[in-house]
Amino acid sequence: MLSCWILLVCVAWDEPGVRLTLPDGEVLRPSALSLEVDRCSYTLGEELRECALEDLWELEFLASAEERAPDPASVVHLHDGSFLAGSVAGGDEDFLHFDLGGSTRVELSLDAVAAVFFGPRATTSAANRFPRRDGNDMLYRRQEVGGDFTSGTLIRFADEGLEFEYSLGDGTFPYDELEAVFLSMQIDLEPLDAPRIELDVHPEGTIRGTFVAMTGQGVSILPLFAEQPTLFPLADLRAVRFEAGSATWLSDLEPAVVEQTPFLGGRDEFLYPYRRDRTVTGLPLQMAGRFFPKGFGCHTRTQLEFELPAGEYSHFRVWCGLSDEVRDLSVRGSIEFVVLLDGEERFRSVPMSVADPPQRIEIPLGGASRLALLADFAADADVGDRGIWGAPVLWSE
């Protein structure tokens, strides 16, 4: 069905170019690259190489695009875990139109949208702080205009505001008065067609979809429940990740056990719970200036334990270190990062501070059934201990 959209174009890169990572961790700097739905060709020096698309892991664009602050700020979350920062640009009864900045506008099916956060707290809002009612859409207004909320049914994202049906009838709520809206899931999720990729986009966010084409203008994908492909210009992309069947992001899995213990007090007094693909304060994952779209933000002492399916993965790789936000704190913490397999330590870092570069860890799983990540106390209690497990991935050779 996608063959009519396939277009093979060789893209040559000016410095600083791109960085290509293979599933085994090998990092390459091709001078030219082309992608088809089933294979990739790239040039290293004078040598032309070719591989299957499923044998790629990540294509990172090293040139930084101009950062664009959304105005007004909003963040949309999809049911498949994707999220995008930008601004709502209206829509209809079936689609949300969402601007990423510049000339990029994404048309998102309302069936795919889980929530939209608005205003200055949009990028740091956590879904668990909003009361919910199963089976209903929920609308929340900002504290500045009363902070009330109501359940009902979304009608559409209009140009002038959100149209919502609730107990008092139909109403239009201006976007600058809203804190969030949550949409109940109406249909079951189905796996995306292969080949599946994930894009990291400016100003912030990731979006999954079925790969359609890569041209000199950008990368086209078919997002969740979309009817037409969306083109993301190369200037709007940080990276392209290829979701091969042999590899899985650990942050896409639910931990079987979570243990969070403060240095002083009981577990119910833990101030900074772990967060998936964000720091504990809701910021993007960043260590030593490097952006990690996938991973965990963890404060000490936090242990996340995962069950590993028998024989499915052979290796685990992750980067660990302190979040760059710690540089702005009056007290900068330190953390010991620990990886355990079946309860036995396989790695423990020295106490790491924000001055240390992130450390890369790679561990053979050796048939282990449980994997645990521990952000442990170091010498200075737990003050300023905002850690990151960046790009944690399970794969099989």
Where do the domains of the chain lie? Answer: 1-63+190-244, 74-182, 249-395
How much is the pLDDT for 170?
Answer: 93
Instruction: Give Cβ neighbours of residue 260 (< 8 Å, ≥ 6 apart).
Output: 267, 270, 273, 274, 299, 301, 302, 303
25-31 CB contacts, 8 Å cutoff, 24+ apart: 25/317, 25/362
SS3 call for 250 = helix
Class of 249-395 in CATH: mainly beta
How much is the pLDDT for 134?
Answer: 65
Burial degree of 297 (CB within 10 A; 0-12, 13-18, 19+): buried
How much is the pLDDT for 12?
Answer: 53
Give the up-direction half-sphere exposure of residue 173: CA atoms within 13 A in the CB hemisphere. 27
b/e code 14-45 from CB counts within 10 Å (16+ = b): eeebbebbebeeeeeebeebbbbbeebbbbee
How much is the pLDDT for 140?
Answer: 94
Give the up-direction half-sphere exposure of residue 74: CA atoms within 13 A in the CB hemisphere. 27
Query: Please, are residues 239 and 232 in contact by the beta-carbon 8 Å criterion?
Result: no
Q: What is the CB neighbour count within 10 angstroms for residue 325?
A: 18
Per-residue pLDDT of the chain (397 residues; tens, 9 = 90+): 333 333 344 555 444 578 888 766 678 888 888 887 778 888 888 899 888 877 777 888 876 544 444 444 788 988 887 888 889 999 999 999 999 876 788 899 999 998 999 987 776 666 666 776 667 899 999 989 988 999 999 999 999 999 999 988 999 999 999 999 999 887 777 777 778 888 888 777 888 889 888 887 888 999 888 888 989 988 888 888 887 656 788 998 999 999 988 888 766 667 788 998 889 988 888 888 777 878 999 999 899 999 998 888 999 999 999 999 998 888 889 999 999 999 999 999 999 999 999 999 999 999 999 999 999 999 778 888 999 999 898 987 7
Q: What is the CB neighbour count within 10 angstroms for residue 285?
A: 25
How much is the pLDDT for 295?
Answer: 93
- Binning the chain into helix, strand and coil, the percentages to the nearest 5 are 5, 50, 45
How much is the pLDDT for 258?
Answer: 93
